Amino acid sequence: MLPENIDTSISLLESDNTQLNLVRWMHQCELMHRYYESDVVFVIQQTGQGFEIIVSSISEARCFTTGTLFEKETPVFQRLVHTPPEGLYIDLTSQKSQDLPKDFNEANSMLTRPILWPDGTHFGCICVLNSRTTKSETDAFMLEPFQVLLQQELSLYCQTQRIESLSMRDKDTGMLNEYGFIMMAPRQLSLGRRFGAHAGIIFFELLPDPLIKQIQEHHNRLLGKIIQDTIRTADIAAHYDESQFVVLVFIDSERDLLHISQRVEKLLYQQNESLKIDVSCNFFTPDSSLKLSPMIEESKKGLKSEQEKQEAQLAILEQETRDEASNTLS
């Protein structure tokens, strides 16, 4: 299976693919272009929008450039979806003109080799387009090293994405996630106490937009950016769960916690008047022996949502106690 954070319906040109060396892909297209004496060589990806060219060799006709999109119903590309691993040679002169995109008007043949995602699903194809006959044009053997290179890079890309999804960063905001905060904050807390710094834990909970009754990703990104712009370098902030953010801050006095909270609320209101936050914070002196986990729990208790959860749990417990007592009497 592919990592959950890879959507094969989205073009590589639109996704965060810094692990993929598309310049090397382009150089390989140029090598194949020279070997086959072709008009153009390109790598095409099947996406939710259709078939999109990711990279290509330089073409005098300036067709088949990066980002060129062909409709998903294009017959000649539909045929490539089930291309055998050893590749396929297509005589375009025998194809109906209405089945070919207009960019294929001058082409007589196309040599292809499929590219697969690591789970075996179809990614796309390497395509060699030619308007003249050459002795090697029907032989896809020389495309195999290029095919292997691309599939290896896609495999490495998927592995990197899988590791990233399990790492310490939240993909929506770029901040630490809960795991990252639990890993990084204790070290910073110990360092701060060693130098006699007062510490505070602040929880911010983003409340749903009253108009749409839900929290959207860009709302989290906005609050996350405001928090990161407000705190100092030594402080640590994290997107703790779907709607909560937590900050470990080092301050001079307890009233600084209120100042930070009020500043975040003010900046959020200035950028989106419909968004509201609930805030809970606790102050800890340098001589406090509390570890990070109980500090977090103590600070979370002040959030209204946490109080409502506790009240609900208490109500359930009381009801169970009454039920047990009733059963005992009967």
Where is 40: in which H helix or E strand?
Answer: strand 40-46
* Domain limits, the chain: 22-165, 178-324
| Whether residue 329 has pLDDT greater than 80 | no
Task: Collapse the DSSP code of 261 into the 3-class scheme (helix H, G, I; strand E, B; otherwise coil) and give the result.
Answer: helix
Return d(Cα 59, Cα 46) in angstroms, integer: 22
State mean pLDDT over 54-81.
87
pLDDT score for 321: 73
- Strand pairing report for 276-284 and 198-207: antiparallel
* For residue 125, pLDDT beyond 70: yes
| Domain covering 22-165 assigned CATH 3.40.50.1820 in the classification | no
For 76-100, the pLDDT digits (tens) are 888 888 888 888 888 888 877 777 8
CA-to-CA separations, 202 to 133, 221, 256, in angstroms, rounded: 71, 18, 11
Reported confidence tier of residue 209, pLDDT bands at 50, 70, 90: confident
Residues 176-186 have pLDDT tens digits of 998 889 988 99
1-15, 42-56, 144-158, 239-253: the lowest-pLDDT one:
1-15
Neighbouring CB atoms inside 10 A of 272's CB total 15
Q: Answer whether 57's CB lies under 8 Å from 40's CB.
A: yes
pLDDT value of position 221? 92
Average pLDDT over residues 7-13: 89
- pLDDT of 144-156, one tens digit each? 999 999 999 999 9
Is there a shared CATH topology between the 22-165 domain and the 178-324 domain?
Answer: no
H or E element in which residue 244 lies: strand 244-251
Q: What is the CA radius of gyration of the chain?
A: 29
Is residue 330 over pLDDT 70?
no
Per-residue model confidence as pLDDT tens digits over 284-303 = 999 888 888 888 988 888 88
Residue in 231, 218, 203, 229 with CA at minimum distance from that of residue 272: 218
3-state secondary structure 178-225: HHHHHHHHHHHHHHHHHCCCEEEEEEEEEECECCCCECCHHHHHHHHH
Of 309, 291, 190, the residue nearest 241 (C-alpha): 309
The answer to whether the CB of 277 falls within 8 A of the CB of 223 is yes
Q: What is the mean pLDDT of residues 129-155?
A: 83
Looking at 1.10.3720.10, 3.30.70.270, 1.10.3080.10, 1.20.1600.10, the CATH number of the domain 178-324 comes to 3.30.70.270
Name the DSSP letter for residue 60: T
Residue type, 57: S
Check whether 135 has a pLDDT greater than 60: no
| 6 vs 277 pLDDT, higher one | 277
